[in-house]
Chains A and B, each alone.
Chain A
Amino acid sequence: MTPALSISHVTKTYPSGLQALKDINLEIRNSEIFALLGPNGAGKTTLISIVCGIVTASAGAVAVDGFDIVRDYRAARTRIGLVPQELNTDTFETLWATVRFSRGLFGREPDAAFLEKVLRDLSLWDKRNDRIMTLSGGMKRRVMIAKALSHQPAILFLDEPTAGVDVELRRDMWALVRGLRDSGVTVVLTTHYIEEAEEMADRIGVISKGELILVEDKVTLMKKLGKKQLTLQLQERMTEIPAGLGDWHLQLAADGNELEYSFDINAERTGISALLRRMGDLGVGYKDLNTHQSSLEDIFVSLVSDRGGSRP
């Protein structure tokens, strides 16, 4: 089956000499939500801009639904909807005029009923005759989504879609994106909010310093790289870990009041039972215990910092 998006050996070097992308290879499957994570300046927006035709790649090829973005740019672009990061709107136009313009620009026949549905889905229908300049920031963000959806794209790019929006609207957008995916639309989103990727994405790509350092199914990624930590609150403060507990590679924390044990959640034996037994044998008592599983954020920070990058 033809992938929704195929990126082969794409590089981008700006005239200033900055190499924004280094040999990017990526395939996005149909009807999936793909989250592209990366710190500021990692190359996320450059990559999206190349696919959408706003930035020209220095080398490599990109195909949307099998159509080359240069040779078959019309067919490729007709399938793409883009919601950029910045709130760039036709500020003096009415909402209705701007979505009609977007649909026409992409070569679609007028369809008032479809546009009405898009605006209703985004809770914008009541504002259709208002000038965009009178709308709130959150509404403007939804206007941009409405414009991108107005021509019924097969693949939707959301560049930092929930940057600066409140929690409620963020949840609404997540629901909208899931609804789009369920209706067959492929969604590629870049985000600073790892919670967003964790919540929504089917697959995750991590980009750092222009390199795609990882592409993985979200669940697999969290299984593969996720670690669980057991924290034991000790009854008595400890100055050093007894030699008898050396097999577990424990860490002392909280000024010697806690013992931490990291274990692999996928391992057949976690070693917890044996540890607790040995502690009993050695007379090391504990008041409480809890476990913590690493989040996608922990995984991401670990991945990027290994490469000398910064947090998103």
Chain B
Amino acid sequence: MTRLAFNRRGVGAIYRFEMGRFRRTLLQSVVTPVITTSLYFVVFGSAIGSRISQVNGVSYGAFIVPGLIMLSLFTESISNASFGIYFPKFTGTIYELLSAPVSALEIVLGYVGAAATKSIILGLIILATASIFVPIRIVHPAWMISFLLLTAASFSLFGFIIGVWANGFEQLQFIPMLVITPLTFLGGAFYSISMLPATWRAITLFNPVVYLINGFRWSFYGVSDVSVAISLGMTLGLLGLCLVLVTWIFKTGYRLKN
């Protein structure tokens, strides 16, 4: 029997299994978020866009596209990854994962990799959908891909943590609904924070989502309300924080093992 140094087949099995669920629930996984985002786009783009012609030199319709993609990336990454690990806990099949010759890193790679892949596919579909409505340009495509990957990975890791922590389906929804969505709406997804009164602008700068959205928007149009270096630092910081938490979970067996 060969000794495993890295269980790539184990990672592949988890990844394929999760992607299989994505394909099986295609309507729920892809169509629903696309329709919802398109509605956001139509409502915000038409209703507000008719009153605001340009923001930072970009048409309002095009300006909100990176924010819409980010909103979708945040919620879908969290939802996919949290459900991916919570469901085996719920059904009890987690026993197989815990008794398999897979390391914590390999488990995370499988689940988070699949969740990130799904949300990236979704982000790209939203980008393609949006390009039907408004002309979109991507000034820094490499940075756009980097922000997309880093954000999807960070929020999928965050979702994985929520999935491990959650003791019920309502807890899975708790943080995405009550924390992430409000922070995204208040984080400049649909407006430039320069449009806010000074006090609110100062308060908004404490919202980390502002930096993630602005970094991503900068990769599209080359404009940002905040420093791109800080945006990148925030994205990497979030990724690092999630990695530390995941490592701690597996080291202590928190809510996974007795």
Contact = CB atoms under 8 A, between A and B. Distances in A.
For the residues of B in contact with A, the DSSP-based class is: helix
B196 to A, nearest CB: 46
Interface stretch (A2-10, A102-110, A117-125): A102-110
A147 interface: yes
A85 to B, nearest CB: 10
Given A75-B3, A104-B16, A107-B4, A89 B93 contact: yes
A124 to B, nearest CB: 18
Interface stretch (A90-98, A175-183, A278-286): A90-98
A51 B96 CA distance: 13
B17 interface: yes
A77 B96 contact: no
Given A78-B1, A90-B91, A147-B96, A106 B101 contact: yes
The size bracket of the interface on A is 35 or more
B100 interface: yes
B233 interface: no
Contacts of A93: 17, 20
B91 A108 contact: no
Contact of B257 (A55, A74, A89): A55
B12 A104 contact: yes
A196 to B, nearest CB: 22
Contacts of A79: 1
Contacts of B7: 74, 107
Given A77-B100, A78-B1, A55 B91 contact: no
Interface string B3-22: 11001011011101100110
A101 B101 contact: no
A41 interface: no
Contacts of A137: none
Contacts, number: 89
A53 B17 contact: no
A77 B99 contact: yes
Contacts of A256: none
A102 B96 contact: yes
Nearest to B92: A88
A105 B7 CA distance: 8
Contacts of A52: 95, 98-99
Contacts of B21: 92
A212 interface: no
Given A77-B101, A82-B99, A104 B13 contact: yes
Contacts of A53: 98-99
B251 to A, nearest CB: 11
A42 to B, nearest CB: 17
Contacts of B10: 104-107
A309 interface: no
A108 B99 CA distance: 15
A97 B101 contact: no
A92 B96 CA distance: 16
B21 to A, nearest CB: 8
A267 interface: no
B134 interface: no
B27 to A, nearest CB: 14
A54 B95 contact: yes
B24 interface: yes
Nearest to B253: A56
B92 A107 contact: no
B95 A105 contact: no
Interface string B44-86: 0000000000000000000000000000000000000000000
B234 interface: no
A146 to B, nearest CB: 12
A109 to B, nearest CB: 7
A76 B96 CA distance: 14
Nearest to A48: B99
Contacts of A103: 13
Interface string B180-222: 0000000000000000000000000000000000000000000
9 contacts: A52-B98, A53-B98, A54-B99, A75-B1, A77-B99, A78-B101, A84-B95, A105-B10, A147-B96
Interface of A: 14, 49, 52-56, 73-80, 82, 84, 86, 88-93, 97, 100-109, 147
10 nearest A-B residue pairs (beta carbon): A104-B13, A88-B92, A74-B101, A77-B101, A52-B99, A105-B100, A107-B7, A105-B13, A74-B4, A55-B258
